[in-house]
Structures are given as structure tokens and as C-alpha cells.
Structure 1
Amino acid sequence: MIKYWQQEDGKLVEKEEGELNRHSKIWVDARSVTRDDIAELEEKYKIDPENMLDALDPDELSRIDYNDDFEYTFAIVRLPVFSPGDDISYFCTPLGIIIKGNLFITICWTDCEVLRDFAANRIKDLSFNDFPAVTIRFMARADIMFLRYLKELNRRATTIQNEMLQSVQNHELIQLLNIQKSLVYFATSLKSNQMLLEKLRKTKLLKLDDEDQDWLDDVEIDNRQAMEMVDTYTNIMAGMNDAFSTVLGNNLNIVMKTMTGWNLVLVLPTLITSYFGINVPLPWQKSPWMGAVIVLSMCLFAGVLAYLFFMKRRLTPEVKKRVPLAQRRKIRIQKRTIAKMDKQAAKKK
């Protein structure tokens, strides 16, 4: 899908290709591109196919260079993406940026909130007459979304942790694993963007004025803050996984102790009855009441053992603590909040 935007009275306006003012700056917005879109971009705007493949590669890292053969500046910026329907809801995607004359071309294999914010005029004081500044604003918006998504991931992890305090299920463990994957994607993308920011400060491919340099400083601060948050949340998740692994190991040990206790209770009656199956004369074996006496004795003996092992809590599993009512309410509120955020994001998408 290819859209065309031009700025009028400080706001971006979507236009048909035939309505474009060729003397003004044009934003060619290519999202969720198809093969036909790729062929159209390559033919109409003379884009290097290798750059097109790089922009559509989900694993491509951030960079900037100049294409001498096709005479344009090419950059890749990593953007965060929230997709509620996927197993891993939070991941990252490359955004290809091509600056060629009065054209500002963005290429992305999917859609994301950063691009929607630009198209919806949610970016304050945005001027498409300064393409280097627009590039920096894309990175600034990406950092804002990184920070927002990191906070949402932290809230989800807290909710899952509260659920696991009640019972540990495979579903919660899989959710924690997906959150860890998202944190790894974010960490890799933020480090890649940080390298791009450092290169923008040194390169001459984008001519930055004093105001752009100030914006660049602010973006670097936000990017470093997001990197520190990722490291913090990653360490918290690692500690949480270790703690729950220990809990699962302890629960398994408790179950094994319980099974051992039952085996001790049941093995002694079995041992006594096995004596009557051997071909050896036993005392009182011809007595009509001896069978009942033996059965009652074994039941009494097993009851005494059960009392010693379980009622005295020597091998009894630990009593699971009941989660307080206030904490259960907090868990329900967190679940509703996350579900509401997912629905809002799905509607925006």
C-alpha cells in the first residue's frame, strides 16, 4: 500500500498521485508493501533493489549511507511494533528511509504506531521542508514508543507474576518467555539505533543545523534511557525465572516426599499379607477369626502411620497461602487494563 502526503498549513494531507504538487516536498509512504508496490517503487523512483530488500528484511540493523549509482541517501531505523494477535505481541521492524530530491520515501513491510502517528498529525511542530529533521523526528517518536511499550511489558510481567503466585501453569511460563523475547528484540534494536545516532552526529550525509543537533541530543538521551530500562527489566525477568524455577523444584520435592510417605504406609500391609501366600505353616492360620483380626490390625497400623506422617506434618505438603482479597482485585484490574489496551491498539491498527 503506497500513500502520498504533502504538508499544507502545517498539517499532512493525503493526496492522490495526480493531485501532487511536484514542486513541493512529498512523503511517499509505503507500508505493508506487496510485490506490486515493490515493483512500482523500483520503477517509478529508481530505487536500488538491494536497498529495497534491506528495508524489507525484518532482521536488518540501523545504518545510513549514500547510494552513488542511484544518487540518494538511504537510512534504516528500527521501530517498535505492537501486534495484539501474534504470540509475540511486541517486536521490531526496520523502516527504510530514502531522501531523493524533494521526495521523502519510507518503506516498511508492516504497519506500526510510529507511522500512524505521523500520518495522523500527532507530531508537534513537524516541518517536511527539512528532511534531516524529519529523520530525527522519526527516531524520536520511535524512542517514545519504545519507552511506552517497555512500561506495558513490565505491567504484563507483574500481572503474570501475581497469577503465578496462585498457581504455576504452562500458559504463564509461555507468556514470560514471549516477554523475554520482546525484550531481546528491543535491546538489539535500541543498540542499533544508538549506533545510527552516533553516526548521524559525524556524517555529512545529512546536513544538521543547530536545532537539529539539539533534537539529536534529546533523542540520544531518550534512547539511552530506553536501553537502561531494557537492561533493568531483563535482569528482573531473569531473577523471576530463577525464583519460579526454584519454586517448581521445591514443589516437586514436596510431591516426592508425599509419595514416599504413602509408599511406606502401603508397603507394610502388603508385606504382612505376602506371608500368607507362602507354603509355610503359620500360627492360627486355621482360625476363622484370624483373617478379620489381621485386616483390622493392618488398617489400624496404616492409620497410625498415616497419622505420624501426615497429621504431624512431617511429610505434609506446605499449605498454599491464600492470596489476599485486595491483591486478587489488583490482579483483575491489571488484566482488564491490559485487555482494554489490546482492544484500543487493535482498533487503531
Structure 2
Amino acid sequence: MIRFLLSSSGCIVEKMKFEPGCWVCASAPTEEEQNYLKNAFAIPEQFLRAALDEEERSRIDIEDDCTLIIVDTPVCLGTENGNDYSTLPFGIILTPKGVVTVSLKNTALCDSVISGAVKNISTKKYRRLVLNLLYQNATLFLQYLRQAEKEGTFAEKALNKNTGNKELLRILKIEKGLVYFSTGLKGDEAVLEKLLRMKFISDYPEDAELLEDVIVENRQAIEMCAIYRDILTRTMDAYSGVISNNMNSVMKLLAAITIILTIPQIVFALWGANTPVPFEHDAVGFWIVVGVAVVLTAFATVFAIFKKWL
């Protein structure tokens, strides 16, 4: 799907066709739409292929009059067992006719900018639009990180009440998402630093300040992601220790009960053998054997309690 977006009075308005100054937002473009982008904006085919490659790394590439900037954007998919966090390559192509963004799926980044997350946005100022997109991307990372942290805290509270597989799997899923976020943020940081070295905005002081804000926001997201990952890792280690201790306690209890219940069986088996045994012909021999079994069982029980096996 291709959308033609033009700023008007600081807001984004969707147009039916391309107009000068439009931002072209392509989400999961068809082959026909890709051909249109190549022909209408002279975009190299490899730029489109790179932007639509799910495994593409964050980078900057320049060919002729086109500049390709690929960053990782956060993705949050709601499921029955909570949200799944991941990243997706997001291609920003700067052409002489305007800014073209290409992604494999519809992203929250485009939707948030279109819905007015960026104040006083202008699609006619191409480089500033690129910086606004990068800033909003870093902001989305922070937003999803806070959301993931709340979900992790909720799962941890649930674990305190009941150490179930569902809560453990939820924390593992969040931790996996944070790994994707961390990798994506570090790749984006390299892209931002390269933009700074390229003097992408050398003629515009306001844009230079905006790029610095993007870098600061991205670094803050990296630090926050590292903190949350460390907290979740320590939480999982702690609960792994708790589960291991609980398992040891259960095994110890079962072993102690098994030993105690085995004592009467041994006593009765010895006196039930087809060989001469004490009290064999005694009228109260049976009760003596029962008494011996009870005494030995009681002694074993007291000993197990003393050793804290029960």
C-alpha cells in the first residue's frame, strides 16, 4: 500500500496522488507499486530490495541522487499470552522529489507520525522530515520499553503468587524482545553517528540540534533496554534458584517418606520368612513384631524431622 502524505498547517493530510513535497509511505508494496517507486522517483532497485529484506541491518547507502537510510523500528504484536516485541527494518529513501519510506509491514512509526505525534511537521523539508522520523522511532523504542517493563513487573508479581510455566514463559518472551530491541538500537546508533559524520544537516542549525536530540533519545533507549534486560535476567536467575530449591525439598521429602514406609516392610518381611525367627511360637509374638516396627518407624520419623527432611 502506498500513501501520499502532505503537511498542511503542521498536520499530515493524505492525498489521492503524488504532489510536490509529498512524503510517500509504502507499506508492504506490491510488485506493481515497487515498479512505480523505481520509475517515478528513480530509486535503485537494490534500495527497495534492502528495505524489504526482513534480515537487513541498519546502514546508510548513497547512489546517484538517492540516499538510503535503514533503521530498525520497534514492533509490538498483541497475542493471547501478552505482547510480542521485535524489530523490523524501516527504509527511508531521500530523493530529489521527496522522502520515500518503505517497510515490509505497516509500522507504528508511520501511523504515529501521521496521527500527529510530531508537532509542526513539514513534509516539504526533506532532511528535517527524515530527522523527525528518526526521533519518533527512538521515542517509540522508549514507549515500548516502558510497556515491556510494566508487563515484566506484572508477570513477576504473578510469579510471587504461583510459580507457573505461563508467567515464566511470559518473562522469557519479554527478555527475547529486549534482545531484539538492544540489537536494533545499537544498529540505529551507528547510523545516527554516521549521519553526524556525514554532516547531513550542516547548513541548518535547527536540524543539527534535532539530530543531537535523536542521538540522546536513542542512547537513553539503549541504557533503559540494558537496565530492563539486566533486571529480567536477574529475576529469571532468582526464580530458577527458587524452583531448584523447591524441587530439592520435594525430592528430599519423598525420599524421607519412602525410607520411613520401607522400615515396616523390612521388619514384616524378616518375620514372615520361612525360617526360624524370635517370638515365632509366642502368643504375643505378632504384637511384639508390630511394636518393633512402630518403634523403628517412630525413631526414623523423629530423626527425619530433626534433620529437617520432613
Range that drifts further, 158-167 or 134-143: 158-167
Larger CA deviation: 168-177 vs 295-304:
295-304
Give the partner amino acid of 2:16.
Answer: E
* Inter-partner Cα distance in structure 1 for 2:214 and 2:304: 64
Q: Which consecutive unaligned segments of at least 5 residues does structure 2 have?
A: none
Given the superposition, is the C-alpha separation of residues 109 and 276 from structure 1 closer, same or farther in structure 2, using an over 3 Å criterion? Answer: same
Given the two structures, how large is their TM-score scaled by the length of structure 2? 0.90
Compute the displacement of 1:305 (Å): 3.6
Structure 2 residue aligned with 1:38: 34
Deviates further, 117-126 or 270-279: 270-279
1:1-349 maps to which residues of 2 (within 5 A)?
1-17=1-17, 20-21=18-19, 24-68=20-64, 71-85=65-79, 89-203=84-198, 208-287=203-282, 290-291=285-286, 293-295=288-290, 297-299=292-294, 301-303=296-298, 305-310=300-305, 314-316=308-310
Q: Label 1:305 to 1:10 Cα distance change in 2 as closer, same or farther (>3 A).
A: same
Is the Cα contact below 8 Å between 1:132 and 1:207 reproduced in 2?
no
AA aligned opposite 1:116: D
Q: Distance in 2 between matches of 1:256 and 1:14?
A: 66
Q: Which moved more, 1:166-175 or 1:284-293?
A: 284-293
Structure 1 CA distance for aligned equivalents of residues 201 and 37 of structure 2: 23
Q: CA deviation at 1:95?
A: 1.0
- Say which is worse superposed, 294-303 or 71-80, in terms of deviation: 294-303
CA shift, 1:295, in A, is: 3.8
**1:332 corresponding residue in structure 2:** none
Distance 2:226 2:235 in 1: 14
SS at match of 1:84: strand
* Alpha-carbon separation, structure 2, partners of 1:231 and 1:270: 59
Q: Is the 8 A contact 1:65 1:205 kept in 2?
A: no
Counterpart CA distance in 2 for 1:199 and 1:222 is 16
Letter in 2 for 1:223: N
Q: What is the CA distance between 1:287 and its match in structure 2? A: 4.9
Cα RMSD (Å): 2.4
SS of residue matched to 1:128: coil
In 1, Cα distance between the equivalents of 2:26 and 2:16? 14
- Cα distance in 2, alignment partners of residues 36 and 238 from structure 1: 46
**In 1: Cα distance, 2:270 partner to 2:80 partner:** 63
CA distance in 1, matches of 2:283, 2:14: 101
**Contact map agreement 2:202 2:208 (CA 8 A) in 1:** no
Contact 2:113 2:136 in 1 (8 A): no
May I ask how many residue pairs the two structures share in their alignment? 309
